[in-house]
Structure 1
């Protein structure tokens, strides 16, 4: 029966090529525009660690003096060295990691003339297990390596291929500036989107190529990068003595596996702030926060309001296209009243006519979905060439590709419901009498 309906639908569509093309174009434009922006929004709102994000938390405390104090104001987004180390060594979570960004000079084995800069991450040992970093070869360092300031390094697969060949990188000597490190691990392709663990580098910053123990990097004076906020009247701090500066420039994450741990950590942050105030380091009343990973992204407005607005406008445009499609289908189906009346007079039921018309609409929807896919690919290509940081990630994955076709088909079938129902209500006797 479906084959029969398909044959009738195909014949009907070929008889009205211009009208068919208009409907396919309307569906294609609506789907293309909406799926372009929905894909961008999908990329920007994706959970970078879907299996673990609910257990990863970013705390906040307020270490500033009373100058400019406003009750209830949000605390600072980063940590000073002293506070980051205190929270790290308190070990109140299942895992905890203190870190900061950096930039190092890589001196390759091929010669000094080929030296280049690379982004680096100075971090404590729990970074790799806490964020489920995949290793191609080797692994990360230990807490003992942190304590003894071991000169070890983990590098990305891209950098390993460039310097040594990924399968020969472990055990090699890596020269960073004037210092030499031993490569102990090669990270496989890993590029979480957004760059959640350090948003100061940019919400969609590329993953770093070099990972070093935090204590080692600070002891050797490796250069840091990222935002820094200071308070007081001491002027800009000495880069060689950042450990004692009244500045926040580090990030801190903690893994809390149960609601009880989360509650205990909230209380710990308040008690820590009270303790530091008693010691004279903090002046403000305790002002703490604890965001889970997705809450932290939302708090930092990782998704710009302009992108959300564009997605809504694109969906509105698709709705307009569907309304136009409804009108075109209504005209098309009602113009065939005589044909449908003859079929009814020959014994076809309303259900059969309805199914036939929906089959025809489904073909239009599939064609419109294919056209929409082509337009979406073109739209995403344009987005990838825009000067925005999320541009490189604007790709249509398999899930969104399937969603495009399903959306086109469902939208067209729904749009055809009223025209098909209206066409089925035409009385055969009235149509035949008119003829």
Structure 2
């Protein structure tokens, strides 16, 4: 076996130019497939694998009785302020948190930190344990009772470095939104991709800069970020009119203890809507939707159909490369016909020749995998340059590397089967005269 491998290795590099062309041909096809498959694989990755089936996105149909929010008959993707506060306050799940995007001025008092416009998320304290948000310092806050909120904040690692030079800032104060907030926590690196908990600005947008309690949005009458949808026309002129309306602007997520409690929570939502119907709301038939994280990503079509089309085209390109590689391998093996005939005459059987040729093909495939990965890295870097939001997750992990080498070796073997068969069928005497 060692002798056969040694012969295969030497024969692979005996015709260096042909070997280089074969490897280049295979590697280009592999790179095209790896790049497109990496996009599908990484974009559809489970962002919370330890409990994604228990973390549920809530949709309630409070929409216009004469028209669906989303055709053909789907409820809005966000909920109203009333429903967000009521459902969170009911505490029918292990964790529950509503949230919305806001923005406002952050005005640090330090000499080295200039004021800046911060993108913030108003949310409940259970947002952090529900989504396994990692902390560098401190922790989040406890869910407050409705209409109560402390002026506390959680900073991202980047903002903490910007304002407090990366020090432990828990307990320090930070002026923003015209008030003085106390820092209770600083996040460690956290860039969920996809950004499943709120994708209104894109499934791969950056997380917010700061986090504040949900009620503060109402207390300070902060702007409505994200997507706001309203079907009512008379909302009144004051901020409270919006909060009391049927306008949707708030993401609502809950986490149940285990999968058996999902049906219990569905029953609670049905009871809640029935109760609200008695108050004159929810004129449409009950149409609640609970989707776990992966179902929600599928619902939002995070991986578009276009990417699957590109992957199909990449596979076609790979087949073209394999056809050309087969032609080059045939030329390479043809150049070795006299040597093969001599080995056969000296006692080597067809199995020995077949094994040697297959080992040569595997070496070519391995080399194609190496260069295919190199080309793939350049391709992914180019995509990251064109789409900066993709930089946090476009990496080649062990699965993708294994895919590249497996596909490359398989492709090389497929390209070589035809030439190997013809090589073994060649009459010995014809090449010994």
Instruction: Say yes or no: TM over 0.5.
Output: yes
Q: After superposition, what is the alpha-carbon deviation per residue over 1:251-289, rounded to whole angstroms, capped at 9, x for unaligned?
A: 101112333311122222223222222221121111121
Query: CA shift at 1:204, angstroms?
Result: 0.8
Give the Cα separation in 2 of the matches to 1:16 and 1:236. Answer: 82
Farther-moved stretch of structure 1 (19-28 vs 121-130): 19-28
Question: Could you say which residue in structure 1 is the equivalent of 2:39?
Answer: 40
Aligned to 1:278: 278
Partner residue, 1:12? 11
Partner residue of 2:64?
A: 65
* Matches for 1:198-209 after TM superposition, within 5 Å: 198-209=198-209
In structure 1, distance between residues paired with 2:336 and 2:219: 83
1:44–1:390 CA contact under 8 A, matched in 2: no
Question: What is the RMSD computed on CA atoms of the aligned residues?
Answer: 2.4
- Tell me the distance in 1 between the aligned counterparts of 2:37 and 2:237: 45
CA gap 1:54/1:377 in 2 versus in 1, 3 angstroms: same
Partner of 1:118: 118
> 2: CA distance between counterparts of 1:47 and 1:329?
41
How far apart are residue 203 of structure 1 and its match? 1.0
| Distance in 1 (alpha carbons) for counterparts of 2:116 and 2:65 | 44
| Cross-structure match for 1:80 | 80
| Cα distance in 2, alignment partners of residues 66 and 30 from structure 1 | 54
SS at match of 1:275: helix
CA contact (8 A) 1:384 1:393 kept: no
Q: Which has the higher helix share?
A: 1
Please list every run of 5 or more consecutive structure 1 residues that lacks an aligned counterpart in the other structure: none
Distance 2:314 2:170 in 1: 49
Contact 1:96 1:126 in 2 (8 A): yes
Residues 55, 256 of structure 1: 8 Å contact kept: yes
Aligned partners of 2:259 and 2:394: how far apart in 1? 36
1:306-360 C-alpha deviation (Å, 9 max, x unpaired)? 1221122112211221232223223432443332122122122322212211221
Query: Partners of 2:310 and 2:397 in 1: how far apart?
Result: 20
Greater Cα offset, 91-100 or 139-148 = 139-148
Task: Give the secondary structure class of the aligned counterpart of 2:338.
Answer: helix
Query: Which blocks of at least 5 consecutive residues in structure 2 are unaligned?
Result: none
**Which is worse superposed, 347-356 or 395-404?**
395-404
CA contact (8 A) 2:54 2:259 kept: no
> How far apart, CA to CA, are the structure 2 residues paired with 1:404 and 1:108?
49
In structure 2, the partner of 1:341 is 341
- C-alpha change, 1:246 and 1:111, in structure 2 (3 Å) is farther
1:149-201 CA distance string (max 9 Å, x none): 11111111111111113333111101113111110111100110011001113
Change (3 A) 1:312 1:415: same
Quickly say closer, same or farther: Cα 1:241–1:69, change in 2 above 3 A: closer
Instruction: Give secondary structure in 2 for the equivalent of 1:228.
Output: coil
Distance 1:329 1:272 in 2: 69
Mapping of residues 411-426 of structure 1, within 5 Å:
411-426=411-426
Q: Say how many residue pairs are matched.
A: 432
Q: Does 1:194 align with 2:194?
A: yes
Provide, for residues 371-424 of structure 1, a one-character-per-residue CA deviation record: whole Å limited to 9, x for no partner.
212211221122122257546643333442343233322322343234324423
Equivalent residue number for residue 51 of structure 1: 50
Q: 1:113 to 1:21 in 2, by over 3 A?
A: closer
The change in CA–CA distance for 1:240 and 1:110 in structure 2 (over 3 A counts) is farther
Q: Residues of 2 paired with 1:349 and 1:85: CA distance? A: 80
Supply the distance in 2 between the matched residues of 1:220 and 1:359 (Cα, whole angstroms).
71
Cα gap change, 1:237/1:292 in structure 2, threshold over 3 Å: closer, same or farther? farther
- Counterpart CA distance in 1 for 2:124 and 2:392 is 29
Taking the aligned partners of 1:146 and 1:393, their CA distance within structure 2 comes to: 37
CA 1:236 to 1:140, structure 2 compared with 1: closer, same or farther past 3 Å?
same
Question: Which residue of 1 is the match for residue 171 of structure 2?
Answer: 171
Partner residue, 1:384: 384
Q: Does the aligned pair in 1 maintain the 2:191–2:392 contact within 8 Å?
A: no
| Distance (whole Å) between structure 2 residues aligned to residue 112 and residue 147 of structure 1 | 36
* Greater displacement, 139-148 / 119-128: 139-148
Q: After TM superposition, what 4+ stretches of structure 1 lie above 6 angstroms from structure 2?
A: none
Residues 194-273 of structure 1 mapped to structure 2, 5 A cutoff: 194-234=194-234, 238-239=238-239, 241-273=241-273
C-alpha contact (below 8 Å) 1:149/1:213 kept by paired residues: yes
Give yes or no for contact 1:146–1:213 (8 Å, CA) kept in 2: no
The 3-state SS of whatever aligns with 1:385 is helix
Cα 1:20–1:284 change in 2 (3 A) is: same
- The residue aligned with 2:289 is 289
Q: In 1, Cα distance between the equivalents of 2:393 and 2:239?
A: 35
The residue aligned with 2:406 is 406
Distance 2:167 2:422 in 1: 68
The CA distance in 1 between the partners of 2:7 and 2:236, in whole Å, is 79
Paired residues for 1:303-382 under 5 Å = 303-382=303-382
Equivalent residue, structure 2, for 1:23: 22
